[in-house]
Amino acid sequence: MSRRLYFPSLYVWGIVLVLCVISRLITTIYYIEDIDSLRFALSMVAYDIGKLQPHFPAYPVFCFLAKIVYGVTGRYAITFSLLGGMSTCLVIFFMLSIAKVHCTSLLGKICMFVAFMNPLLWLMSNRYMPDTMGVACLLASLYYITIPEKYNHGTLLCLNTVGFLLAGILMGIKASYIPFLLPALFICLIQYSGRVKKIIAGIIGVLVWLIPLIMLTGWTDLVAAAQKQSHGHFSDFGGAVSTNPEIMIRVSKMLESIVADGFGLYWIGRHPITAACTVFLIAIILVNVWYGLSRMQDATLYKKYKRMLRNPILLGTVTYCLWIFIGQNIIYKSRHVLPILPVVALGIAFCCYQFIQNNMVILNKGGRNPIKHRLLRWGTVFMFLTCYSCVSLNTVIQHTQPTAIAQVHRYLHNRQLESSDNLTIVSVPLIKYYLASQDITANYITIKDETDLSLLDDIKTGLIVIGSPLPNRTGRKTETFYHNPYVNRMWSELSVYEY
């Protein structure tokens, strides 16, 4: 039986890999969409942590792999999409492996579809960033760490040890995802034997990238970059709770990141199709909740739910949610919820499967007209997945069009070609960095706060101001650029004022 299942599985995963790579290549973005993407793009040309190419924690494993692919393709846009496509396939593979769901089953197909079409996962697989690869490595590590010890006997290398090795490597891909693994790592060390071997494997996973990073950067420069970036992240620009302490805003934005950004569901101001998608999903979930509550009297089921509360994956999800709520910029960067999405996607897929397979008693009480009710169940799930796909495809297609800051860059580039003199550009430091790094030669005046506006007192004309208009001055021209904030929350609307 296992041999019969093996070849169809291999065939299915081959198709999934091809679809993931081709779809991400089709939606490749050929512009720099934000500051973080710029830093990773520049790292393909010259990897330099001191110049924030990229910023600390340096992401050495991701950048090393990207450099190899970039050496073959010669185009960083294609490089990031290729890595994103392959990482998406790994995310789907380990998502199903963790849930012990076979890819050829109905549940497996629904799981794969929900993950493949996930809007935020798709966006991040095209963005010039390591997040999708980080989620793939996180799930792989989680899968091997949570394998029961009885399955490790007779193996040359303990499978749990592989999980610890991958955890160390994950720190070189996306260090901020480590909190998700902490409960699983702790439980594995406490409950299973071979603690020393596992810890050594984790250390090796770190040393594999840390030693080359120290040799490349230098210990002193690496420590200086770490101190500067860590201090800035938690006390200045990082968007942690220490710098953005509005609790209700953080709660709202975290929910929006998961619901609207993560799964394309309805939020205030969104398109009606997102509302339709939400209504269908709520109906599916409510029926499953009703069905689950009706079976709570079953002692076996009650024990199963009780065990779930001690599940290292659910504990990791809660731990990670607390970490990003306190320590990450969830107000402006929805991508921080990415590791949570596979867990939620499994829940959604399971609800859809249960709705189709096991809810005949609820939807067909009395057993009358079973064909009609079967069509109703399939139709509801089909409509949800159709609306979900439409939202995702629309979002990724919009992603192929330049963001507001990229449109500003193009506008100023054209102005630069038209003018014989250098432009005088007034902006905040990050926008200056974005423009100056992409060959916009100008006289830059950086405004950090209102006190810096005095720098403009002696300049009456010829100013190009990005962001907010100057007080007590009448501009001669204003251009405003937009993009969908569910593509990227950063600078979704930017105005250029000319004086």
Q: What is the pLDDT of residue 4?
A: 47
- Domain chopping of the chain, boundaries: 2-399, 404-498
| Dihedral, CA of residue 373, residue 376, residue 381 and residue 385, to nearest 10 | 160
Q: What does the pLDDT average to over 129-135?
A: 98
Bridge-based pairing state of the strands 477-482 and 463-466: unpaired
Q: Are 384 and 371 in contact (CB under 8 A)?
A: no
Secondary structure (DSSP) of 150-165: GGGTT-SS-HHHHHHH
pLDDT at 301 over 90: no
291 vs 109, which has greater pLDDT? Answer: 109
pLDDT at 222 over 90: yes
State how far Cα 79 lies from the chain centre: 17
Q: Taking the CB of residue 109, how many other CB atoms lie within 10 A of it? A: 16
Which of 49-53, 90-94, 445-449 reaches the highest mean pLDDT? Answer: 90-94
Which tokens belong to 108? 């497996």
Q: What is the pLDDT of residue 303?
A: 63
What is d(CA 38, CA 52) in angstroms, rounded to the nearest whole number? Answer: 10
Classify residue 272 as exposed, middle or buried by CB count within 10 Å of its CB (0-12, 13-18, 19+). exposed
Q: What is the pLDDT of residue 300?
A: 60
- Give the predicted TM-score (pTM) of the model: 0.93
**What's the half-sphere exposure (Cβ side, CA atoms, 13 Å) at 437?**
23
Q: What is the DSSP letter of 310?
A: T
Q: What does the pLDDT average to over 410-438?
A: 92
Share of the chain above pLDDT 90, in %: 75
Q: What is the pLDDT of residue 472?
A: 83
Q: Are 81 and 123 in contact (CB under 8 A)?
A: no
Secondary structure (DSSP) of 363-382: HTTTS--HHHHHHHHHHHHH
Amino acid identity, position 129 = M
pLDDT at 139 over 70: yes
Q: What is the pLDDT of residue 54?
A: 95
Kindly indicate the confidence band of residue 70, based on its pLDDT and cuts at 50, 70 and 90: very high
7 vs 191, which has greater pLDDT? Answer: 191
Secondary structure (DSSP) of 420-435: SSPEEEEE-HHHHHHH
pLDDT at 2 over 50: no
Tens-digit pLDDT profile for residues 324-350: 999 999 999 999 999 999 999 999 999
pLDDT at 479 over 50: yes
Q: Are 334 and 259 in contact (CB under 8 A)?
A: no
pLDDT at 294 over 80: no
